[in-house]
Structure 1
Amino acid sequence: MSKYAVYKGKVYEANMRNSPIRLKSRKLDSEFSELVDLAGNIHKDIFNNEVNFDDVEMIYELDYKLIYKGVEFLPLAVGKFSLDEKSITVSTSDRDIARNYGFIRKEPFVFDRSIPLDDIDALIEIKKPILKFKDQKEERTKIDHKDIKTYLANLI
């Protein structure tokens, strides 16, 4: 699951190592600097900023569910890459569901199927607060069929 932090009203990818939280962005904000990796390479298209835990407004994990033919499935991954693939792969361990919905057996008790974006009823975005925010309520947002491609295109 990807982790995100809300910092000064904006959402950023978040990486937590001990105390500081490293925020990542594809756009240069005033407090951000170009990413320098462990080998010393400078990445001019990735920017980061380390902030204190107390400076973020929220930290959450982002998860998804996918609705296909009225049934909820767990997608293996959701991202901008789903637009290029024109589908989202889902998985189940239920043999009856696998047989009824055309899944392919990948391992014993594991069945997958790539669902074309045009066939998805809805995508459910689930924001699960973590760490000191874990007592806050989980947020669920339903992205209807007509809005899925736009939603994917606007992901961080």
Structure 2
Amino acid sequence: MDDLATARLVLHRMSPGEAEQVATGASDGSVRWAPGYPSEGDRAGAGRFLGVCATTGDPWPCGAFEIRRREDGHATGGLGFHGPPDHDGSVTIGYGLVPSAQGKGYASEALRALLSFARARGITRVRGDTDHDNTASQRVMTAAGMRLIAEDERLKYYEITWTTDTATVTA
């Protein structure tokens, strides 16, 4: 099974067809969407995934996931990789939840699962970034084990790297 399960969530591996529905905001009704889903960020992430599929093929295992609550199956957001690993084994991630699902620890839970998934597949570095004023996202990345490594006038940059035995942070 390609889905990832956590205590409260299912991270559903999106197919290109499902990503097309998210990108256009036009569901075929096979999945229940929470109010507000897909957000602008979800549509952009699905579009990015479709672009990668069009240029390089399905980037599995570095694709896109839909965040679904186990309790009711509703899609509440998305997360995934911006593309396949680079030559150094590094990837960039993104994630987001609809407002009704925020503040419940779902994003941290989902990101921890994605990081574990990445590490198990030999990815050596995961990067993410957020706006300076997005303290919630900063807390999510920190809670999942990522560390602030740099910032500029617009963004804060987070990262986690792994050696063969332990997760370490690099500057």
> Normalised by the size of structure 2, how large is the TM-score?
0.24
Please identify which structure carries the higher strand content: 1
Q: Which has the higher helix share?
A: 2
Structure with bigger RCO (C-alpha 8 Å, 6+ apart): 1
Asked which structure has the greater CA Rg, the reply is 1
The TM-score, its normalising length taken from structure 1, stands at 0.25
